[in-house]
Amino acid sequence: MESLLSFLERHTVRILTHRKALKAFEKSQRTKRTFLGEVKGWVDALVFAVFAVLLINQYIFQLFVIPSPSMVSTLNVGDRVFVSKTIYGIEVYPSGPKIFSANRQVQRDDIITFYNPEYDSKGPVFDILSQIIYMGTFSLVNIDKNEDGSIAERLYVKRAVGFPSETIRFVQGNVQVRPAGFASFVDEASFRNELFLSDGPHRSLESSSYEGIMAWGSLFGYQEAGVDLAASPAYLKSQYASVQGDSYPDDMYAFETAAKRAKHLINPADMQSRSDSAKYKSGIYVPQGSILPLGDNRDNSRDGRYFGPVNQKKINGSVRFRFWPITSMRYLGDA
């Protein structure tokens, strides 16, 4: 019995001594923690986190802040939304080609994000840097500003309204749709009602305002054509008086429509004026592979009326959910 106890004692001491030696060796091999070492560790962690966030924003989803009132009241200025980056295919790099997009087309009435066709680039270095900062901070920091300090809209958020082979025209701000294969136009309200679409799009400008806006545009057309305004029709001057105090037309598209028409009537032989006027009168035809996006706040939206249809390859996401403000959280896939 004593020999057994002695054996166990010797082996126990050996095991404990070995463990103690290992701990002493590990302790001796540890590198002392230094300030620079701590900083390097934090930098490594931060770089990894930013890189992970960029990958998520580019290939899975992006958090986006609504910068303008063009979608009020569906989306208000300052709302934060979740944008799916996979629903229409995946961009290989920002504004680059998409993969897995063959069977992932935009659906009618989707709220989409796309690259602003009128965006004024500040150079590739700044564009890339601003995107890295914006995406890396989950849309909290945006250094891309206009000269007046407002946020430059690199991405637009609008509703997909016009589809391939359709023609969309605007009569005093009201949308009219000519579906593919039809000879006549139908007003948007009836079109949306028949297809059970969202009631988000709305007007805020009174129809009585258009007499003054159109007169203003016509007088501008006279001026562009080199006609002395003193010789312009008296009724136009009278109608213009109702908006004379405005600094900017409430409906720029209607203003431009009237201006182009006036220039054509003044000189019917001017083929450029004739073509410009006909374009406004005929409406906007949507070619294959493209979408005509419009804002829900029709009277305060810089949209497809001005820059035309957008190629589906430039549509990089769909707004699916609003998560801020908390009191307005909602799913937007059917908004």
How many H-runs (helices) and E-runs (strands) does the chain carry? 9, 14
Neighbours of 186 (CB within 10 A): 15
Residue with tokens 């007088």: 219
Residue 70 among the catalytic residues: yes
Amino acid code (one letter) for 215: A
Question: Is the previous residue joined to 84 through a cis bond, with omega within 30 degrees of 0?
Answer: no
Quote the Cα angle for 332-291-134, to 5°: 55
Give the integer Cα–Cα distance in Å for 88 and 111. 12
The answer to whether the CB of 114 falls within 8 A of the CB of 310 is: yes
Selecting among 70, 130, 209, 273, the annotated active-site residue is 70
Candidates 158, 260, 263, 313; catalytic one? 158
- Catalytic residue flag (residue 318): no
Phi-psi region of 113 (alpha: psi -120 to 50; beta: other; left: phi over 0): beta
Q: State the Cα–Cα distance between residues 282 and 239, nearest whole angstrom.
A: 25
Query: Which residues are known catalytic residues?
Result: 70, 158
